[in-house]
A = this chain, B = another copy of it.
Amino acid sequence: VNIFPVILCGGSGKRLWPLSRNSHPKQFLKFFSGYSLFQETILRISQLSPDKFSIIKFLIVTNSNYRFLVLQQLKEISVENYEIILEPVSLNTAPALTFSAYLALTLSDDPLLVVLPCDQFIDNTDIFIDAINQALSFAERDSIVTLGVEPDRPHTGYGYLEVSVDLNTNVQNVISFIEKPNLEKASSLIYKKNYKWNSGIFILSASIWINAIECFTPDLATFTLDSFNKRSILYGFIEPDLESFTKNPNISIDFAVMEKCTPLSNFKIKMIPLKTKWTDLGNFESIWKFSNLDKNSNAIYGDVVVNNTSNSFIHSSNKLVVVSDLKNIIVVETSDAVLIANKDYPESVKDVVNKLEATERVEKDFHKKVFRPWGFYEIIDDGPDFKVKRISIDPQASLSLQSHKYRSEHWVVIKGIAQVNCENRSFYLKEGESTFIPINTKHRLSNKTSTNVELIEIATGEYLGEDDILRFDDEYGRAI
């Protein structure tokens, strides 16, 4: 049976600021291992044995800001069977899944979809794969299947599933979906055996989803199909037609379909229990909970010294961070911002980011490190008339052929061998060598080697904005 995992990774993760940014959100961060949550999601489902269910392609739904990050992270884990769908606007999960289902149906005969959010921690992969295998067997027989998690505490951040209680079988019928409860309700549900956390992981056939969405939210089916038929493909990325896609309502999978599939409807939902540690990594408190803790229950990442401090999440990216005589706090240090917050109010990080948005702070959106298709750059110093960057170019990658009207640039290579084109000259610079690019000169920087090239760029001039760039040619389609 042909399987298409649908990987939903378009979110922005405000509650993990400043680690997570609009330009580099939580699903692409590497928290617990050398892999990001996005990569772990793909690696986890890849454990599915191909005997019975074989993964044809990963359908990755994201937005255009993250396309190069997605490409790079797929390359890192050597995954090549994928399609990347760039939502022109973020409209929650239902339009994303519907578009993916139409795509899967053109790629295979009645395929099964495994819908996977990318911000989850799942402890035991074997148990996960067992549950997915069971779920796929029911999905083959036209059920919609979801994974349910046994609550271990009241949680107001999760939706709940009300299920039947048949002690003779593992699988249960879902009776109703319950939206995020208040604390009082969550506290009462914890004592009831027939309420589970809704993991947001769904297993179902593409055609069943299309049938369900046509039945319950016919407009969404119409607009998304239209946006699918008018899709464009640019440099390998699939882009739904903007005009028709934008007509879709902003609506979740649960709300569009699942909550309407009562036992009396035509669509039955089954629940398979996921019997391993599971959490939605929505905020720092949840990451703290799943970290390795020191003897005072601190989760420590990076260069940190603690003194008489307990129950805290402390993350350093760059500098020495010293925490003394405190408890239950969150400290996150990044190259351009430091957050110090109360771990008992993890949701308020989102409020702060909204506050920053209101003042249009750049730190909200960008890390100083900026990812590009050819590698990355990091602003290491700047002032009114100058900007210093460290630039790293991936093997075999090239920046665009470009020129600047207002700035000149000095390049000093600090690692590897760079190829420089400047007007009609082409030459190589190795470690310790430098060149000068005057204003209005066509130039291009390339790495023709198999290892990274690093250089320091000092730009000087009266205007230093990134928008002072004229692109003549670009390998990544940015010269248009």
Contacts and interface: CB of A to CB of B under 8 A. Distances in A.
Does more than half of chain A's interface fall in helix, strand or loop, or is it mixed? strand
Given A337-B319, A361-B320, A460-B431, A383 B414 contact: yes
A322 B356 contact: yes
Contact of A363 (B320, B338, B410): B320
Contacts of A355: 305, 307
A208 interface: no
Interface stretch (A38-46, A71-79, A323-331): A323-331
A48 to B, nearest CB: 41
Interface string A318-355: 01111111100101010111111110110011011001
Contacts of A338: 316, 319-322, 331, 333, 338
A380 interface: yes
Interface string A375-410: 000001101011010100000000000000000101
Given A323-B340, A381-B390, A388-B388, A352 B434 contact: no
Contacts of A305: 352, 355-356, 359
Interface in A403-445: 408, 410, 412, 414-415, 431-432, 434, 436
Contacts of A386: 414-415, 456
Contacts of A390: 381, 388
B322 A340 contact: yes
A91 interface: no
A29 interface: no
The contact size tier of chain A is 35 or more
Copies of this polypeptide in the complex: 2
A340 B460 CA distance: 37
A406 to B, nearest CB: 11
Contacts of A454: 383
A350 to B, nearest CB: 10
Interface of A: 18, 305, 307-308, 316, 319-326, 329, 331, 333, 335-342, 344-345, 348-349, 351-352, 355-356, 359, 361, 363, 380-381, 383, 385-386, 388, 390, 408, 410, 412, 414-415, 431-432, 434, 436, 454, 456, 458, 460-461
16 contacts: A305-B352, A307-B355, A320-B338, A321-B338, A322-B338, A322-B352, A322-B356, A324-B352, A325-B348, A380-B388, A381-B388, A383-B454, A385-B415, A386-B414, A414-B460, A434-B434
